[in-house]
Amino acid sequence: MIENICIIILSLFLFSLISIGDDREHLYYHSLFISFFSHLNRR
């Protein structure tokens, strides 16, 4: 449950960064979020 809340907060934070940044930052944060999310699912 706590991890789900952290994922929601992190995704909102990353999407706010994505809307500010350019395409390269978009791809970087998107891949970072996917790797973090898959890491949580692996546990």
9 and 33 Cβ atoms separated by less than 8 Å = no
Query: What is the per-residue pLDDT for 2?
Result: 76
The number of folded domains in the chain is 1
**What is the pLDDT at residue 29?**
72
Enclosing domain of residue 33: 2-42
- Looking at residue 15, what is its pLDDT? 75
- Asked if residues 33 and 14 have their Cβ atoms less than 8 Å apart, the reply is yes
What pTM did the predictor assign? Answer: 0.40
Q: What is the pLDDT of residue 16?
A: 72
Tens of pLDDT along 1-43?
777 888 888 877 877 766 665 667 667 777 887 888 788 777 6
DSSP per residue, 20-41: HS-HHHHHHHHHHHHHHHHHHH
Q: What angle do CA 2, 42, 14 make, to 5 degrees?
A: 55
